[in-house]
Chain A
Amino acid sequence: MDNQTISPRQFMFLVILFTIGSSIIIVPGPLAAQAKQDAWLSITISLLIGLTLILFYNHMAKLMEGKTFVQATIMVFGNWFGRFILFFYLSFLFILAALVLRNIGDFMTTEIIPETPLQFTHILFLIVVIWGAYLGLEVMGRSAEMFMPWVFLLLLFFTITLAPQINVENLQPFLGEGFMPVLSTSTFVIGTPLLEMVTFLMIFPYVKDAKTKRKAWVLGVFIGGMILTLITLLCLLVLGSDLTALNTFPSYKLAQKINIAGFLEGLEIVIGIIWMLTIFFKMVVLYYAVSVGVAQFLTMDDHRPLLLPLGMGMIVLSIIAYPDVAYFETFVGDTWFPYAFTHGFILPAFVWIGLIIKSKRDKKQKDLSSHS
């Protein structure tokens, strides 16, 4: 909005953090419930599908010619119908942000600070997110660069300290349930986080260097996906598929297993820090995309006045979004994929077709004008 740009590397880091954020909490459990010991395989498959999805987004971003999704849709479909479509797109981002906020709130109130009321947990988190979105994209990109080494180091530490407890038998029998459950659960990971990548269509135009930024997006999703695979694999290897499926926060349970020489215990906070950092970046990207999107929707010059009002709405929505964790698990398992698919694929595809038609027409007009 205020001409802040980020480098492809910063963009890639944001994509990585976005991919890990909140999925690291939700993904392993339901996957292990259905695909059992082959859950890691289904992530790998969905990652492949996800990468083609990113290629599609990339192509779309190319057609948008430096405009954000909101600007491009209004350009293609005009003021009224364009805004009608955008209403759905922006509401998708807003609801997603509220759900992500609830994820961290749920996790915090169940595991780390059980006595603190949910709303205060949400408010404190959102204040920092708003602060980040207020400072703008440049600062978000830079802080992603600051935190990325920490996330990697903590993950490395996590992996190494868990290594002694790995039990390879937990992965056997390979494809014991057949290939179908693996394939059917892969929709889960496509729904979260891969289809959520549609958010970055709001940020992509602000990334410098047209060539490398496409590669950065694909690479970011790939690295993020690999980290998700690693976490799920560790869950399966250490906890086994049954325990993974039973726990609400399997990767947190996993961290409680760390025990080095009897004194280095209780390091679950390590994974807690990774979660908070990654979810923070997912939130701040979503929040920035929503507020910039709404600002462009309302043709405002600056997104900053919108940050606080949107935040108030988000706090309420995040509390009333679902009553309890059980509800959420069904929601994520059954409802989320169709919802994300409509808004993350069908809707952009619709705009994509519009963009193609428009660019063809523009070309024809250009030809005509040059001939005459």
Chain B
Amino acid sequence: MKQNSNKQTSPPASQPLFPNLEDSLDHIRTLMGDSSDLVIRSLMIHKTSAAVIYMDGLVDNNSVQNFILEALMLEMPSKRQSSHHLYLSIKEKALPIGETEEIESYTDLFDKLLSGETILLLEKQTKALAASTKGWRDRGVQETTSESVIRGPKEAFTETLRTNTALIRRKIKDSNLRIEAKKIGNKTHTDVAIVYLEGTAETDVIEELNRRLDQIDIDGVLESGYLEEFMQDAQYSPFPTVYNSEKPDAIAGGILEGRVAIITDGTPNVLLVPALFVNFMQSSEDYYQRADISTLIRMLRLFCFFVALFMPSLYIAFTTFHQEMIPPPLLINLAAQREGVPFPALVEALMMELTFEILREAGVRLPKPVGSAVSIVGALVLGQSAVQAGLVSPAMVIVVAITAISSFVFPSYNLAISIRMLRFPLMILAATFGLYGIILGMIALVLHLCSLTSFGKPYMSPFAPFIPKDQKDVLVRFPHWGLLSRPSSLTKKDQKRVDSTSKES
């Protein structure tokens, strides 16, 4: 489908190479519109004219000079040869470069040229050589900024696909690790790699993923978010059904669990499917810390999930409808605080939540030096002035603060986003129906969660459907010698993980 559309948009490019070198070069120049970064170096090899073509900035200048130009201009044997023989000898002997390929059509030629390879054209030849000289400025492997850990590898993926696949290969040195390539985007031709362990990942999932990716017909893919929206199961759900991470160890861990990673060129965020609800509550660090503290932290996250989701609505419900359920001393305190506040609890809560959302969004966008100024203003406005001005009660400030902090506990940002959004309908339910509304909202939420699937896997497994065997690595984390099998909610194949005799008792 993608190739068809390619043909439609640029029909002349798909034709075979012209035998005449000048024609060929003209053709390339016209199609590129005399682009200023196109470099065409014409040269003569024993009276056969040839041309070396590359894109300035996408290639590694050193290797083009040392291994291609030098080889062709200085080191060719001086014996006169026919053009065809010359071509063969260059192909087989002359180019000291790891990866070379033959190309026969202009589609291929532009594909290679624009992804940073160097093309060698010879007079009277309908084949050309493409030598891999890719080398552009990239960021290099750096420390992760969005998912920091205390213990565990600090490196993060980069914007370059090849670096990213290498980062995974370095962790999983198994010949069964498959890296399949795809190109998506009619204009951007973005490289996408599908990475999985053959024999561990389920073939159904891989087929389904390939089907969904092949279906995509879009002009450009600039980030993995484009792909995520095309291939996620639940389009109209606040909950994410595709996991993403920029930590190679998290992705490698997912691959070992039988999941499939999708690396997109140009972004450090790598996708992982299928993604279950529990995956968003787990961090790769859980597996590096000791089992007991990991278990406790997982419980804490679950608690924070409820706090972040329900705290403001519970506050509204209790202060508006169910004062009798608050212990009397606390009730007196709360009532005294709310005495001077002119708004109903819902308005108060909405106001504070909105202020906080604004502050948070501003904090992300602002340049670093200004950021601290905003946090001071935020803290003063939120914590002090609003209370002193009698706009909100101090208890409300506490509620909003604990809610906000709780929503930062989750290792994955996507889940925090869905909680942020769902908080507001729950607050409205609480303001209209009290606890009754909150509980019904919660039931509806669970119904919705249970109806979701991610690549055929029930989103709430291993809770619903309940899989006793998988409970070892959900709320609690068993020590590694106890994690005997892979989570069967993710893959049914190659279940064995740890030999039960491997720990001396």
Interface residues of A (CB under 8 A from B): 7, 9-10, 108, 112-113, 116, 120-121, 124-125, 128, 131-132, 135-136, 139-147, 263, 265-266, 268-269, 272-273, 276-277, 280
Stretch at the interface among B53-61, B218-226, B268-276, B443-451: B443-451
A-B contact pairs, 29 of them (CB 8 A): A9-B466, A10-B465, A112-B435, A113-B321, A113-B433, A116-B436, A121-B433, A121-B436, A124-B436, A124-B437, A128-B440, A128-B443, A131-B444, A131-B447, A135-B447, A135-B448, A142-B458, A143-B443, A145-B463, A146-B446, A146-B449, A146-B460, A265-B327, A266-B325, A266-B326, A266-B327, A269-B325, A277-B439, A277-B443
Identify 4 new A-B residue pairs, CB closer than 8 A, beyond the known A143-B447, A269-B325, A276-B443: A143-B450, A268-B325, A269-B322, A276-B440
Alpha-carbon separation in the docked complex, A121 to B437 (Å):
9
Q: Contacts of B443 on A, CB cut-off 8 Å? A: 128, 132, 143, 147, 276-277, 280
Tell me the nearest residue of chain B to A264, going by C-beta.
Answer: B327
Closest chain B CB from A279 CB (angstroms): 11
Instruction: Label chain B's interface by main secondary structure.
Output: helix
Q: Contacts of B451 on A, CB cut-off 8 Å? A: 135-136, 139
Alpha-carbon separation in the docked complex, A9 to B462 (Å):
14
Q: Contacts of B448 on A, CB cut-off 8 Å? A: 135
Closest chain A CB from B466 CB (angstroms): 5
Closest chain A CB from B20 CB (angstroms): 65
Question: Size of chain B's interface in residues, with CB distance under 8 A?
Answer: 27
Q: Contacts of A124 on B, CB cut-off 8 Å? A: 433, 436-437, 440
B1 within 8 A of A: no
Q: Contacts of B450 on A, CB cut-off 8 Å? A: 135, 139, 142-143, 146
B254 within 8 A of A: no
Q: Contacts of B88 on A, CB cut-off 8 Å? A: none
Alpha-carbon separation in the docked complex, A301 to B467 (Å):
32
Residues A142 and B444 in contact, CB atoms below 8 Å apart: no
Alpha-carbon separation in the docked complex, A104 to B439 (Å):
13
Residues A147 and B321 in contact, CB atoms below 8 Å apart: no
Tell me the nearest residue of chain B to A6, going by C-beta.
Answer: B465
Say which residue of B324, B433, B439, B463 sits within 8 Å of A146 (CB atoms): B463
Say which residue of A7, A113, A125, A136 sits within 8 Å of B434 (CB atoms): A113
Tell me the nearest residue of chain B to A145, going by C-beta.
Answer: B464
Residues A128 and B444 in contact, CB atoms below 8 Å apart: yes
Closest chain A CB from B10 CB (angstroms): 46
Say which residue of A125, A142, A265 sits within 8 Å of B464 (CB atoms): A142
Nearest 5 pairs between A and B by C-beta? A142-B464, A142-B450, A145-B464, A266-B325, A139-B451
Alpha-carbon separation in the docked complex, A277 to B440 (Å):
9
Q: Contacts of B466 on A, CB cut-off 8 Å? A: 9, 145
User: Would you give the 0/1 interface string for B395-439, flagging 1 where the beta carbon is closer than 8 Å to chain A?
Assistant: 000000000000000000000000000000000000001111101
Closest chain A CB from B481 CB (angstroms): 27
Q: Contacts of A132 on B, CB cut-off 8 Å? A: 443, 447
Alpha-carbon separation in the docked complex, A151 to B105 (Å):
68
Q: Contacts of B435 on A, CB cut-off 8 Å? A: 112-113, 269, 272
Residues B439 and A116 in contact, CB atoms below 8 Å apart: no
